[in-house]
Amino acid sequence: MNIISSFRLESKNLCVLFVLSLSLLFACAPERVQVNLIPQPVSIKQSKGYFKVDSVKAEKEGIESYIHCTIDSALKEIGNEGYLLSVTPERIELSATTSTGIYYGKKTLYQLLTSQGIPCIAIKDYPRFQYRGMHLDVSRHFFSKEEVLKLLDAMSYYKINTFHFHLTDNGGWRIQIDKYPKLTSMGSYRTEKDWLKWWDGDVREFVPENTPGAYGGYYTKEDIRDILQYAAERHINVIPEIEFPAHSDEVFVGYPELCCMGKPYTSGEFCIGNEKTFTFMEDVLSEIIELFPSKYIHVGGDEARKTAWKGCPKCQALMKRMNMKSLDDLQCYIIQKAETFLNSKGRTMIGWDEILKNDLDSSSIVMSYRGQRGAIVAANKGFRAVMTPGEVLYFDWYQAEPRTQPQAMYGFSPIKRCILSIQFR
C-alpha cells in the first residue's frame, strides 16, 4: 500500500495549522544506546570515547570543518536522503549519495554534540517515509516571515523535508496576487485576532488594509521568494495550498461576482456555474506556479457546504447542461478543472480526501484528514496518500481536561496518544 504517513497539528484557539511527519521514526527499531537522536536512525552502534571539538571554533565556523564528506553514487541502498556516519577519536567521516544526505548527516552531528565532544559512533540512516511534513495555516492566524523562517530551522533540525504552506482560507488571504490586488487589500485583514471568536461572532467582517486595530497580514512575492530560498537551503520543499471551491469568504469581499449571490458574506463557496470562477482559478494558480518551484500544488477541495449552489441559476444550469446528478458533481467539476490545469503546467494536484469523489488522474495525491480510511481507499486505488487523521494528529484538540486547558476546537487527543500512534504504525 502506497501510504505516506505524516501528521497535521493545530494549536489552541488561534487555529494554527501544521502538518508534522509521522516519520519521526526512521526505518526500523534501533538497538538501545546512550545517545538520543530524533528521528532514530536505521542502525546505530556506539563505542567508547569522543571526537574532541574546539568549542570556540565550532561556535564560529560550525562543526563542518571537522567532517570529511564523500558523495558516492554507489551507496544506492541508503537512497537520496540517507547517509553513513562514522565518528572515531581521530576522525569524522560522512558519506551519502547526494548533498541532501550530507546535510542530514550534519544535522545528526549537531544533535550528538556534547560538552565532551561528539561520541564515537557508527550510524546508517535513511528515511522511512518520502514525505515528512509540517502544515502551517497562516490564514486563521498570521505568522510573519521571520516566524516562518524560525519554523523552517526547527524542521530542518529534525529532517522534516516538506512545508505545507496553507495560504488561503476563510480567515484571510495571505499571498500577493498581482492580477487580483483586492485579495490582499480587502481580504487579508479582519476585525478580530481570535479566529474562533471572530468566526462565531455576530459580526464577521473583513476590513481594508491599514485599518486601525485590524488583525492580519500577507506575504509579498518578495517575502515568498525569501522563504523559498531559505527552505531550499535547508532541503525543504514548500507546497502552497490555495483553497477551491470552499473556505473562500475572504475572496468575495473584493470580488463578490465570484460567489453565487454576488455579494460578500453570503457564501464561502465559489459559483461553479460562473465561467469567471475558472478564469480566476487559472489566473491565481498561474502566479502560484510561477512563484513556487514545487511539483505539488494543494487545492483544498474539502468542506464545501453547497447550499448556495442549490438555489443558484448558473449552477443549476450547469448541472442540467452537464447532466449532473447531485451537488457533489459541481464540487467534482471544479476539482477536475484544477487537476487538468495543473497537469497541463507540469504540476501535480494534492487535495484533502474529499477529492476521492473525483475520477482522479493517477498522479494526484490524497491527504486523509477525516480519519485513516481516505488514505487506505486512495492507496488501494493506486494513488499516493498522506496520512493526517485528525483524531490523532490534530493538535487543536484538547490535551487534558478542558477546564484546565487553553481554548481548543474540540475532542481529546493528548500528545501521548500521538506518540503511541507513531510507535505502532
Tens digits of residue pLDDT in 235-260: 999 999 999 999 999 999 999 999 99
* Residue 194 DSSP symbol: S
The pLDDT value given to residue 32 = 40
The pLDDT value given to residue 5 = 43
The pLDDT value given to residue 304 = 96
The pLDDT value given to residue 4 = 45
Q: Is residue 263, in this structure, part of any structural domain at all?
A: yes
The C-alpha atoms of residue 171 and residue 185 are separated, in whole angstroms, by 14
Partners of residue 368 on adjacent β-strands: 387
Q: What is the CATH number of the domain that holds 143?
A: 3.20.20.80
The pLDDT value given to residue 199 = 87
The pLDDT value given to residue 196 = 85
Work out the angle between the directed axes of helices 328-344 and 313-321 (0-180°, nearest 10): 80
Q: Do residue 410 and residue 312 come from a single domain?
A: yes
Q: Do residue 79 and residue 20 come from a single domain?
A: no
| Boundary residue ending a domain (91, 125, 159) | 125
Q: Is residue 202, in this structure, part of any structural domain at all?
A: yes
Most confident option among 13-27, 112-126, 386-400: 112-126
The percent of the chain in helix, strand and coil, each rounded to the nearest 5, is 35, 25, 40
Q: Average pLDDT over the chain, rounded to whole?
A: 89
* Residue 183 DSSP symbol: H
Task: Retrieve residue 124's grid coordinates.
Answer: 546508517
- The answer to whether 97 touches 72, Cβ cutoff 8 Å, is yes
Q: Is residue 30, in this structure, part of any structural domain at all?
A: no
Say if residue 227's pLDDT is above 60: yes
The C-alpha atoms of residue 301 and residue 309 are separated, in whole angstroms, by 16
Q: Do residue 142 and residue 75 come from a single domain?
A: no
**Residue 323: other Cβ atoms inside 10 A:** 7
The pLDDT value given to residue 31 = 39
The pLDDT value given to residue 421 = 66
| Boundary residue ending a domain (125, 158, 181) | 125
**Over the stretch 183-202, which tens digit does the pLDDT of each residue have?**
999 999 999 998 888 988 87
Averaged over 395-406, what is the pLDDT?
85
| Boundary residue ending a domain (80, 103, 125) | 125
Q: Do residue 156 and residue 48 come from a single domain?
A: no
Say if residue 2's pLDDT is above 90: no
The pLDDT value given to residue 423 = 52
Q: Do residue 15 and residue 97 come from a single domain?
A: no
**Over the stretch 49-79, which tens digit does the pLDDT of each residue have?**
999 998 777 777 788 889 999 999 999 999 9
Q: Do residue 105 and residue 191 come from a single domain?
A: no
Q: Do residue 172 and residue 203 come from a single domain?
A: yes
- Strand extents, DSSP E, 90-220: 92-96, 118-125, 133-137, 162-166, 168-169, 172-173, 189-190, 215-216
How would residue 422 be classed by pLDDT, with cut points 50, 70 and 90? low
Q: Please give the positions annotated as active site.
A: 169, 247, 303
Q: Do residue 50 and residue 11 come from a single domain?
A: no
Q: Do residue 195 and residue 338 come from a single domain?
A: yes
Q: Do residue 364 and residue 380 come from a single domain?
A: yes
The C-alpha atoms of residue 173 and residue 248 are separated, in whole angstroms, by 9
Averaged over 274-287, what is the pLDDT?
98
Q: Is residue 34, in this structure, part of any structural domain at all?
A: no
The C-alpha atoms of residue 77 and residue 134 are separated, in whole angstroms, by 27
Q: Do residue 8 and residue 47 come from a single domain?
A: no
- pLDDT-above-90 percentage for the chain: 75
The pLDDT value given to residue 23 = 38
Whole domain around residue 66: which residue ranges? 43-125
Side-chain-side CA neighbours of residue 343 (13 Å): 12
The structural domain count of the chain equals 2
The C-alpha atoms of residue 36 and residue 155 are separated, in whole angstroms, by 17
Q: Do residue 289 and residue 417 come from a single domain?
A: yes
